[in-house]
Structure 1
Amino acid sequence: MNKSFTKIICMFFVLTATTVAAFAQSIAVSGTVTDKTTKEPIPGVSVTIKGKTIGNATNDKGQFSFSTTERVPFTIVVSYIGYVTMEREITSNATNLNFELETGVILGQEVVISASRTPERILESPVSIERIGAAALKELPAPSFYDALNNLKGVEMSTQSLTFKSVNTRGFNANGNTRFNQYIDGMDNQAPGLNFSVGNIVGLSDLDVDNVELLPGAASALYGAGGINGTLLMTSKNPYQYQGVSFQYKGGINHVDDNSTNQGIQEFKQFDLRLAKSWNNKFGIKTSFSFLQAKDWAAADTRNFDRTSRQLKAGDRSSDPNYDGINVYGDEISQNMINVAQSLNAGIIAGVNAASGGQIPNIQTSLNGAFSALGVGAGAAPSSAQQAAALGFFPAALRPTIQSYMPFYIGLRVPGLIPNQFVSRTGYAEHDLVDYDTKSLKTSTSLHYRFNNTIEAIAQANWGTGTSVYTGTDRYSLRNFSIGQYKLELKGQDFFVRGYTTQERSGDAYNATILGTFINEAWKPSGGLTGWYAQYIGNYIGARAGGQNDAAAQTFARSQADVGRFVPGSVGYETAKKAITEKTIGPQNGAKFNDKTNLFHYEGMYNFSNALNNVVDLQVGASYRDYFLHSDGTIFDDANRDISIGEFGAFVQLGKKLSDKFKMTVAGRYDKSKNFEGRLTPRVTGVYTVAPNNNLRISYQSGYRNPTAQDQYIDLAVGGGSTRLIGGLPESITKYGLNTNKGVLASSYKAFLASVASGAPNPALLTPYTFDEGGLRPESVQSFEFGYKGLATPRLLIDAYAYYNIYEDFIGGVDLYQNPTTTAVRFTVPVNIAGKVKSYGGAFGLDYQVGKWNWNGNASYNKIGNTPANFDNNFNTPEWRFNAGIGNREIAKNLGFNVQYRWQDEFLWNSTFARGIVPSYSTFDAQVNLKVPSVNSMIKLGGSNILNKYYATSFGNPQVGAIYYIGFTYNP
């Protein structure tokens, strides 16, 4: 780490000296851009040198300025969405330039950065890219800009709660998506202990977003590990172009006609504030604040789920003794009635032997003799009177213990009286365990100093906290969870050097599934002679002996075993809940996490293109990061040690325009992580101009992701303690003896249980699992893409692409059962799937503008190909998605509107939490806005899912209904 850090510091000084020297002979360009009709200044207008990366954008007063060493004469281009582009030749220093832009159709002229890490028109991007600019952000029909990502071509979301949504493209979606990277102002927005972004809980507020760029597909060659399915880059507004005070208040309602929690309509409210100021275009400061409060969506799927076969099954709590509701927790604890009776039988025999001083070595044998003396035949059930008489054969001091043992003795004495049936404990609904009082508070403050028009130093602090719900292997209540990101950066026209840290704090977050289990245990333990299962089986035997059938006896047994059970809201329940959520997972037998994982990241990049007179485009960059895991054993195997993970990477990209019509770019990146071999990820792209503003693109990209921190080091009991998640490194396999006392595959364990149920146990059905000798490896993908983007007419933009992905060493999970013939222990371990996994698809989009009217539509298709044997399909993506919208920025004076429609078909969702079909759904988002120029404000009335058709985006997550809101924004 020290050597890498030294290299980056040296790079910093070299870059600074080179760039400062380059400005010794510079030309200054400045001026103002206004609307030709209204004469009002236009902020955010792009002013760049034609064909170059040099330029700036206008501030809130429509002013711009920059310096360049470009040789005169050169041409500057002034462009902004919704206006006709203007050009002007510059022959010397040019100050106080005036540009009056006319409203007009401008499609495909937006400048993007992320596709090549250098500015270029979106039409000329070498790979697929989606963008939301400042103009569109103000009039989105979704409640927030982050929600609006769902309307972009090829994008899908998994909604786990109101504020926690996972973005994805091109398949293999997940609740916590480790295959999709998210950056805010250059900082990786992942929670370092989770290795994925927590939605926009710690992100930008709507008022502070300048633009959003999204790259579908692999981007490791430029951005490093992760992001093999997509990369999202969000850029905030700077204090030079966007000054002054802005605020927004949004109030609304949700849970309309929601039967999941029976709470009725709930209030939704949000307040945003942004302050920004600069002095002499040198020193600038900005701060933003956002606070949201609402009642969260409730996950309330009570369907019965078989966790061994991982599929839905018939029955509910009243008809299935082994019922396990998807969003009911505590019922994951399940025991076989015969096994429990035999275990209790063995324990009591030993206990009576000890209590009698060896006089009664085997109570079962003694009782057989007593009943034989009373004339009760072998295998027959003695009557109550005969049971009472049999007690007389024993010392008085032992009679209470023998009497409590009698039901199990009788159950095992009479063949078939105790069924070979698994029974689960009675669970609690999610809404009784999880904190649904959602809150989100996020702040961002940055200090900026410009040494000149192109070199800028930035100190930035982003911090957010909130209460939300997340779906992993269990459901987790993220209560008072927080993340802070703190950055120092020096950037110029051709370089940047930055360092930042991400500090994750779990706050009062807890595992809702474990909580449900431990509340049951706090009231009445599962095991022991006086435990819940002993009472259940004893009452079942009594009911059966009394003439009841199996179903009636099962119902009676549960009603008796549950007598006095803690009821949600009662003093006992709330006391137990409070105590358990305040104790950490592990030896304390609590449900709380104690995650204080940190990430430190350093990187730099230099663009040599201008130094080489733009003969070729050449960029080089390097990065180093460290993860410091700290969970005190509540998530990772770090109860008695410190764990860190170091990663290093470097890339180079070379681009050359080989003719007036064809540009080729080649890039490569090398990365090395602490526990894995280094790897190279190449990238080759080509853009061919078939006609002005019409381009074909072709690319080969490779991507990879290291196994996450959890894939490597997790050591966590889930499913109410019925399953243990462990890391895939050899040290974890050795710790639990899975390399010597091998676990068997879940499918074979299920077959073995079926043979036990049939009365003919067959251990030969069990299939042991052998781990790869080399251990867990990084996952990689090769991605091939062909696309077209162009203006069919000045008013019609067409964008289409097709892709084909080949994944190798795909990281999946394997469920193993250790000691399957006795007391089975279940483990879930990440492993690499042998063979190749292939997926393919494409998308087609149209944007059509006439005056201030805009129509848009897109369709995307994603499909997984043949998969290797034993591959647990977690493609988690609908084959077809469709979006369509219509809007007008000013249908009448100062009045605009926007409507967006979205549809997707049904698909199979598979995760470590649950597996099942997600039905197709369609939904409308809409807004109407009224601009009030006299007070520089906007009033917006809108809603998401305005028809209030509840839908789920992923299996086991909540149903999402409508949000209706009205908002007032000052200085939008």
Structure 2
Amino acid sequence: MIKKILLIAFIAFGSLAMVGQTTITGTVKDAKTGDTLPGANIKIYRKALGTTTDFDGNFVLNITDNPPFTLEISMLGFQMVKVEITKNNQKVEVSLVENETSLDEIVVSASRTPERIMESPVTVERMDSRAIKNTSAPSFYDGLENLKGVDVNTNSLTFKSVNTRGFATFANTRFMQLVDGMDNSSPALNFALGNLLGMSELDVNTVELLPGASSALYGANAFNGIMFMTSKSPFDDQGISISLKTGLTSQEAAGDNSYTDFSLRMAHAFSEKFAAKVTFSALDGTEWYATDYRNTSNGKYIAGDRNSDRNYDGLNVYGDEVSTNINGVAQTLESLGILPSGAAALVPSENISRTGYNERDLMTYNAESIKVGASLNYRPFGNDRLEIIWNSKLGIGNTIYQGLNRYNITNFLMQQHKLELRGKNFFVRGYLTSEDAGDSFDTRFAAININREWKDDNTWFGEYVGAYALGTLGGLTSDEAHAVARQTAESGRYEPGTPEFKAAFDKVTADPDLVTGSKFQDQTKLYHTDANYNFQDVVDWAEVQVGGSYRRYSLNSMGSIFTDYDGPIDYDEYGVYSQMQKKFLEEDRLKLTASLRYDKAQNFDGNFSPRISLAYAAGENKNQNFRASFQTGFRNPTTQDQYIGLNAGSAYLVGSAPDNLDRYSTPAITLSGVGQATTGSTTATIVGRAAYENAFSLASVLAGAPEVAETDLVKPEKVTAYEVGYRGIVNTGESNITIDLSAYYNSYEDFISSKNVIVPLYGQAGDNTLSLLALQNGDRAVFSAYTNSTADISSYGASIGLNTKVLNGFNLGLNYTYAKFDFDQSTDPDFEAGFNTPEHKFKLQFGKRDLFENFGFNINLRWQDEYLWESTFHDTVIEDRTVIDAQVNYSIPKWKSVVKLGGANLTGQEYFSAPGVGAIGSQYYISWTINN
């Protein structure tokens, strides 16, 4: 009902005829071809009054303003023209000159001030609304993968992780994503869940992406790169726009499944002072099924399956992680008189795992996303010199997140609310980010505890050992006895699809205690303010800016993720910065940019982040540009690095904030018979501090020569980055070739990592007595401690992009990216670097917007070679792949519509972006977009 009222109201306001005192008419054409340009913007300078050209390139503007005034006539991809209006009924004839190259487009992100991409002091990748309309990908967010140097890793259909320059993970805390100036990372997870709280495609104005460190201007976590998404202003882009996209996803495991993606944008300027907009997007589809059932051990694939390996642990099978040595169980049963004397000797010393459940039995695989946004914009003086903006965004949906385990994210809600005051030379804004995990759960613990719901571990293994021993005594071979033992222990198993399984599933996934349940519970909030002032009207010898930010986290997982058992954990961080930009030489060809930022977080020492760059513009039209930069970046440990306290099954995770170490303690762990005799207790409980002060290194224990782990508390990591680059235009006589190339070298210090350590359940590591006895008897616990690697790590790479027109107007783009890193494993044996980036990537784009009247097409091809993926979930080599996307489009100017037919991964060759995720199949779509 509310949507209908809003729609009627916006239509009514949009249809009100203005009683004009001044009428201006005109025509807008392409200066090169002479063709008229439909959709060109006609706007009074510095005001929100204007119109657009019709499908014949004509316009009529009725306004109450009296001449003289200035019209701005613009269109994306063309140079803006200003026309002086001196009288009523003036007729305007304008020809717009197309930008010579995309490098002529204006960006703001690189220096927090408008400048041509050509003259930017650092590498910038950009996608605007015109490129979005032309992308062959199913969405603009998918289309980012076609940009030079950009990687997009697919966790699920609705969760894509954007990354640049290596060290990619789905939990990508080294890459920042801003939407209208707001960090849209999950406050608890510290990384963006794709475009869950992003933008409707209809509302995207520009996307700017800075690869590499950007901490000097943007602070912590702008470490590997930062992406800026800006929306359209309701003053400048008015009207009602609609997009309907439908199609199907095709995967061998999941079959063919339909999906729909609907978007609506309504914007109106009610006067020169007040404007508003509302956006709505809804996506519904089916996730990529994850069906990799290969056997694993210690993060590697091994031979065998459930039929051949009695300790089988399938990658996308959960619950089979619960394993024990059955000889130890037999000894306990014999000591209790349950097994006859001597029976334990018949039971081999062999690890046996419980039978698990496949992921597809636990996941809903419903890909759903709803995004709602609204803004109220007020200009007190009737122009863009000062504007007050209230902006709210809400995203709710289902997706899949893969970290240490696989998480079914269901009804996950994130919202942001921002108040911003923006002027010609400054902005001040504050916003709140809040999340609610909804009905999300951990699939691994769901399977483990569904198993335990119908039969606890002690009973299951007891029945297994008893049946094995009796079978052996009865004359069965070992293999026959094992088969009978599993059949006996499995009696009463809840089979997927049965009422018993559903009841247990519902119970377990609603329980946040991981001892008995699997619910992912969180209501964390983030409060952020930042401000910037440019002294360009005060200081004339250089452009000087100053700014700062303050952020407060309020962790509130109710003790299910963090150690916030007694209430929310609050901590804060702040930063201040300054930048000076000075131009030298004739025609300002040499530009020096110097920045310095200081940041301080509550639990850590402060960090200085300097950046200095030089850019020189050569050539007659400043179209040969050379640049070099030096900068440092840093990343604060995440909320989880500091305050997590979680039993993840394979290890206990303990954050290393000083006030966190004693808040977390493990559940009671049963000691061996020797341990009980030694300590006089049947169980032991370990406090989190032990992971840092009483532990052995994992590598030394596996090698049989235990050594004390030296695990310092985590601190910020740093990067020192060097970059050189060139942007220019080469005239070949027939056409121009734009070239954009860069090379970089990064050196890392105190690289943040999690390190598995072994804590003895009694004794002090290094005492060579009790602690070694604990290891010998299995009285130990695996902890994952958050710390910094001592290893020397560096990365380097280069990229080049070429764009030109061939064959009388066809667009051809080629780019290549090289990425490599150096790491000496011997300097830190327990550390996994997780570079997770192909060494070579090649991308090609070919198309034409106007192949013939109203018809265009675009083709994108991407190739990358194989690479090693390392993560806490699994390690494996990702195979090389070639992916082809394509689209054809037809414009209907009379209806202000575009119909697009396209597909992604048209070859149908399925591929993995990481181990454990669903194989990515093909996606086909047809869309109808109106008035965009």
Aligned to 1:650: 576
Q: 1:34 aligns with which of 23, 28, 33?
A: 28
Aligned to 2:835: 875
After superposition, where does 1:721-736 map in structure 2 within 5 Å?
721-734=649-662, 735-736=687-688
How far, CA to CA, are the matches of 2:884 and 2:42 in structure 1?
A: 31
User: What amino acid does structure 1 have at the position aligned with 2:324?
Assistant: Q
Aligned to 1:928: 888
How far, CA to CA, are the matches of 1:970 and 1:625 in structure 2?
A: 40
After superposition, where does 1:17-166 map in structure 2 within 5 Å?
34-36=28-30, 37=34, 39-40=36-37, 42-43=39-40, 60=52, 80=75, 82-83=77-78, 85=79, 99-102=94-97, 105-166=100-161
Aligned to 1:323: 312
User: What amino acid does structure 1 have at the position aligned with 2:201?
Assistant: D
Shift of 1:544: 3.1
After superposition, where does 1:831-842 map in structure 2 within 5 Å?
831-842=787-798
Q: 1:106-165 CA deviation, whole Å, 9 max, x = no partner?
A: 331100110111110000010000001121111110000000011111111221110011
Query: Closer, same or farther in 2 for the Cα pair 1:64/1:568, shift >3 Å?
Result: farther
Shift of 1:623: 0.8
Aligned to 1:742: 694
How far, CA to CA, are the matches of 1:494 and 1:890 in structure 2?
A: 40
Find the residue that maps to 2:903 and give its secondary structure: strand
How far, CA to CA, are the matches of 1:474 and 1:96 in structure 2?
A: 66
How far, CA to CA, are the matches of 2:888 and 2:641 in structure 1?
A: 46
Q: 1:713 aligns with which of 624, 630, 643?
A: 643
Find the residue that maps to 1:141 and give its secondary structure: coil
How far, CA to CA, are the matches of 1:617 and 1:78 in structure 2?
A: 28
Query: Closer, same or farther in 2 for the Cα pair 1:304/1:537, shift >3 Å?
Result: same
Q: 2:861 aligns with which of 892, 901, 904?
A: 901
Q: 2:303 aligns with which of 294, 298, 314?
A: 314
Aligned to 2:627: 697
Within the alignment, does 1:422 sit opposite 2:351 as a pair?
yes
Find the residue that maps to 1:635 and give its secondary structure: coil
User: What amino acid does structure 1 have at the position aligned with 2:636?
Assistant: N
Coordinate RMSD, CA, aligned: 2.6
Aligned to 1:405: 339
Within the alignment, does 1:432 sit opposite 2:373 as a pair?
no
How far, CA to CA, are the matches of 2:468 and 2:405 in structure 1?
A: 31
User: What amino acid does structure 2 have at the position aligned with 1:338?
Assistant: N
Shift of 1:545: 3.3
How far, CA to CA, are the matches of 2:343 and 2:885 in structure 1?
A: 61
Query: Closer, same or farther in 2 for the Cα pair 1:164/1:684, shift >3 Å?
Result: same
CA contact (8 A) 2:47 2:272 kept: no
Aligned to 1:518: 449
How far, CA to CA, are the matches of 1:180 and 1:469 in structure 2?
A: 19
How far, CA to CA, are the matches of 2:246 and 2:266 in structure 1?
A: 22
Shift of 1:853: 2.0
Query: Taking structure 1 as the reference length, what is the TM-score of the superposition?
Result: 0.83
CA contact (8 A) 1:33 1:101 kept: no
Query: Closer, same or farther in 2 for the Cα pair 1:118/1:43, shift >3 Å?
Result: farther
Within the alignment, does 1:447 sit opposite 2:376 as a pair?
yes
Q: 1:335 aligns with which of 321, 324, 332?
A: 324
Query: Closer, same or farther in 2 for the Cα pair 1:749/1:281, shift >3 Å?
Result: same
Q: 1:937-965 CA deviation, whole Å, 9 max, x = no partner?
A: 11110011111111111122111000111
Within the alignment, does 1:170 sit opposite 2:165 as a pair?
yes
Aligned to 1:861: 818
Q: 1:780 aligns with which of 708, 718, 722?
A: 718
User: What amino acid does structure 1 have at the position aligned with 2:912?
Assistant: A
CA contact (8 A) 2:617 2:625 kept: yes
Query: Closer, same or farther in 2 for the Cα pair 1:267/1:89, shift >3 Å?
Result: closer
How far, CA to CA, are the matches of 2:163 and 2:654 in structure 1?
A: 26
Aligned to 2:846: 886
Aligned to 2:267: 276
User: What amino acid does structure 2 have at the position aligned with 1:864?
Assistant: F
How far, CA to CA, are the matches of 2:639 and 2:49 in structure 1?
A: 40
Find the residue that maps to 2:156 and give its secondary structure: coil
Shift of 1:740: 8.1
Instruction: Extract unaligned runs of 5+ from structure 2.
Output: 1-23, 62-69, 663-686, 761-774
Find the residue that maps to 2:817 and give its secondary structure: strand
How far, CA to CA, are the matches of 2:606 and 2:779 in structure 1?
A: 41
User: What amino acid does structure 2 have at the position aligned with 1:405?
Assistant: L
Structure with bigger gyration radius: 1
Find the residue that maps to 1:319 and give its secondary structure: coil
CA contact (8 A) 2:691 2:783 kept: no
CA contact (8 A) 1:227 1:703 kept: yes
Aligned to 2:781: 825
How far, CA to CA, are the matches of 1:885 and 1:142 in structure 2?
A: 12
User: What amino acid does structure 2 have at the position aligned with 1:830?
Assistant: Y
How far, CA to CA, are the matches of 1:607 and 1:288 in structure 2?
A: 32
Shift of 1:431: 0.8
Shift of 1:32: 8.2
Query: Closer, same or farther in 2 for the Cα pair 1:732/1:489, shift >3 Å?
Result: closer
User: What amino acid does structure 2 have at the position aligned with 1:695?
Assistant: N
Query: Closer, same or farther in 2 for the Cα pair 1:739/1:38, shift >3 Å?
Result: closer
How far, CA to CA, are the matches of 1:637 and 1:131 in structure 2?
A: 41
CA contact (8 A) 1:46 1:80 kept: no
How far, CA to CA, are the matches of 2:386 and 2:692 in structure 1?
A: 60
How far, CA to CA, are the matches of 1:445 and 1:79 in structure 2?
A: 26
Aligned to 1:945: 905
Shift of 1:240: 1.6
CA contact (8 A) 2:609 2:632 kept: yes
CA contact (8 A) 2:758 2:783 kept: yes
Query: Closer, same or farther in 2 for the Cα pair 1:552/1:817, shift >3 Å?
Result: farther
Aligned to 1:371: none
Aligned to 2:519: 592
Higher RCO (CA-CA < 8 Å; seq separation 6+): 1
Find the residue that maps to 2:646 and give its secondary structure: strand
CA contact (8 A) 1:44 1:134 kept: no
Find the residue that maps to 1:190 and give its secondary structure: coil
Shift of 1:837: 1.1
After superposition, where does 1:326-725 map in structure 2 within 5 Å?
326-346=315-335, 348=336, 402=337, 404-406=338-340, 409-412=341-344, 414=345, 417-451=346-380, 452-527=383-458, 531-586=459-514, 589-613=516-540, 615-659=541-585, 660-691=588-619, 692-718=622-648, 721-725=649-653
Shift of 1:89: 9.6
Q: 1:749-780 CA deviation, whole Å, 9 max, x = no partner?
A: 3334xxxxxxxxxxxx22221322xx211011
How far, CA to CA, are the matches of 1:333 and 1:243 in structure 2?
A: 59
Aligned to 1:395: none
Within the alignment, does 1:815 sit opposite 2:756 as a pair?
yes
User: What amino acid does structure 1 have at the position aligned with 2:390?
Assistant: A
Aligned residues: 841
User: What amino acid does structure 1 have at the position aligned with 2:538?
Assistant: A
How far, CA to CA, are the matches of 2:656 and 2:443 in structure 1?
A: 25
How far, CA to CA, are the matches of 2:719 and 2:657 in structure 1?
A: 22
Shift of 1:739: 6.0
User: What amino acid does structure 1 have at the position aligned with 2:555?
Assistant: L
How far, CA to CA, are the matches of 2:791 and 2:85 in structure 1?
A: 61
Shift of 1:90: 8.2
CA contact (8 A) 1:107 1:796 kept: no
Aligned to 1:848: 804
User: What amino acid does structure 2 have at the position aligned with 1:477?
Assistant: N
CA contact (8 A) 2:71 2:85 kept: no
CA contact (8 A) 2:48 2:236 kept: no
Find the residue that maps to 2:469 and give its secondary structure: helix
